[in-house]
Structure 1
Amino acid sequence: MQYQFTIIVPVYNEEENLERVEKELSKYIKIATKKTKILFVNDGSIDKSQQLIEQICENNNDFTFINFKENCGLSAAISAGFNNCDTELVGYIDSDLQTAPEDFNLLLEHIEEYDLVTGVRANRKDSFVKNMSSTIANGIRRSFTHDGMDDTGCPLKVIKTDFAKKIPMFKGLHRFLPAMILLQHGSIKQIPVQHFPRIAGEAKYGLWNRLIGPLIDCFAYLWMKKKYINYTVDTKG
């Protein structure tokens, strides 16, 4: 049976988490409702992440990797994953595993009807400051994009690959994936998923990334929305 679903795992200095990532994603592959493979995208880590990724891929036929020469950011890692995906469906999960791989099955239940299905982190296990800044940032983004999504930062999504490959690349991309699908006249849905506290490694985003960065990115989104080219081929001769 051919693979149907690729899970992208962006990695940046997550050596403390990768053993658990291997264990949890290996468990998920056994219960996945679609034939699934894993694609690590190492975003220029300077710890032992790449060494561990190579060991994981050597030990598991369902795991592969891309290794960046230097750190380029989460949006670049996700974009590279989309561009290197050869399955009909693609998703991603953060390597801190604050969301549960088994919840991909909840999203996959709806992907036939929609072009993107995203998680919404229920009962978030983050600090007050992180939760509040995320709530404010999501409110700002919704006012610009009108995408109706409550939690675009949730690192658990499933997308039809044809749509994912048409998303233009820019920094901050990961915050606007539902809006990008709407620009293609696609359909989107959000589903509540589990959320857990980070138990190893360090968060890569501070208050600036969660508030000021997203606000600046909103203006970039408005520019792109105005310039975005969308077409559907009717017939070819």
Structure 2
Amino acid sequence: MSTTPSPLRLSVVVPVKNEAGNIAALVAEIGSACGPLSPFEVVYVDDGSTDDTHEALVRAQHSHPWLRIVRHDRSGGQSAAVRSGVLRARAPVIATLDGDGQNDPSFIPALYAALDQGGPGIGLAQGQRVGRKGRWKRFQSKIANGVRGKILKDATRDTGCGLKVFRRDVYLSLPYFDALHRFMPALVTREGFGVVHRDVIDRPRFTGRSKYGMFDRLWVGLLDMAGVWWLIRRRRPAPSATEAARDGSGGP
């Protein structure tokens, strides 16, 4: 990966799988929302779609030159798709959102501002959904987030929200595993960075049905939660290191 400084302010990473009907409208919304943050890019990661998602992205690319397309040869899951996008992103700050239209990109500038105003010690601005539809979904989320919060003490009401803005180098310092994106507040805190929160409005998906399993189903994430708890417990402060001068004096 190139270390050349990028003129871009923001890269927006959007993981999608079989979301052909949602591409055009969401791409247009992202472009409008991120206009004040120009120059920016949008990296869509097609996670092994079997419908016309790729073709819809190619059509959108014709009218949106800032749109880039990354394509998985088979589905690797949402965490893998986010990571593929972040690895190929060229800006120092990354925004993520789900590709089904439920995450409103109009909240990206506020999350970006929260991260920026916090200074280099803040690693993540995490969206927290309000106005979620479906009583059963809200109940599942409340139980899962309550258990997770007691175990990981991440001070985050809703880690499942796809709307996040974070520093690329902080993300790449995190241990990678499936479901990483669900535990980012705890892991970012583990690395010594702060997390800020902003409420965002949840809305119905544009078309289609959910493609990825929801963390709201608590039992799916129990092993992952135990692993993250272990990582937090094993964290030790990193010693400060200096390189000895040639005369052995220990100078920089």
TM-score normalised by length of structure 2: 0.86
Mapped partners of 2:201, 2:31: distance in 1: 19
Q: Which amino acid aligns with 2:196?
A: K
Aligned to 1:142: 149
Of 18, 21, 24, the residue aligned with 1:19 is 24
Q: 1:232 offset after TM fit, Å?
A: 7.2
Structure 1 residue aligned with 2:95: 91
Quote the residue 2:53 is aligned against: 49
Gaps of 5+ in 2: 1-5, 244-251
Cα distance change on mapping 1:200 and 1:24 into 2, 3 Å: same
On the 8 A contact 2:15/2:44 being kept in 1, the answer is yes
Q: Distance in 2 between matches of 1:49 and 1:61?
A: 18
Structure 2 letter corresponding to 1:150: R
- Unmatched tracts of structure 1, length 5 or more: none
Indicate if the aligned counterparts of 2:141 and 2:216 stay in contact, CA closer than 8 A.
Answer: no
Alignment of 1:171-210 (within 5 A): 171-205=178-212, 210=217
Of residues 48-57 and 204-213 in structure 1, the stretch that sits farther from structure 2 once superposed is 204-213
Q: Indicate the SS of the match to 2:114.
A: coil
Q: Mapping of 1:61-210 within 5 angstroms? A: 61-112=65-116, 113=118, 114-124=122-132, 126-205=133-212, 210=217
- The runs of at least 4 consecutive aligned structure 1 residues that moved more than 6 Å come to none
Quick check: which has more Rg, 1 or 2?
2
Q: CA deviation at 1:86?
A: 2.1
Shift of 1:136: 1.1
- Residues 71-113 of structure 1: per-residue CA shift (max 9 Å, x gap): 0101111122222222110010111121211111111121121
- Report the Cα distance in structure 2 between the residues aligned to 1:77 and 1:139, rounded to whole angstroms: 27
| CA displacement 1:148-169 (0-9 Å, x = unmatched) | 0000111111001110111221
| Conserved 8 A contact 2:187-2:228 | no
TM-score by length of 1: 0.91
Identity of aligned residues (%): 27
* 1:219 alignment partner AA: A
8 Å Cα contact 1:140/1:215 also seen in 2: no
Separation (CA, whole Å) in 1 of partners of 2:104 and 2:147: 27
Q: CA RMSD in A?
A: 2.1
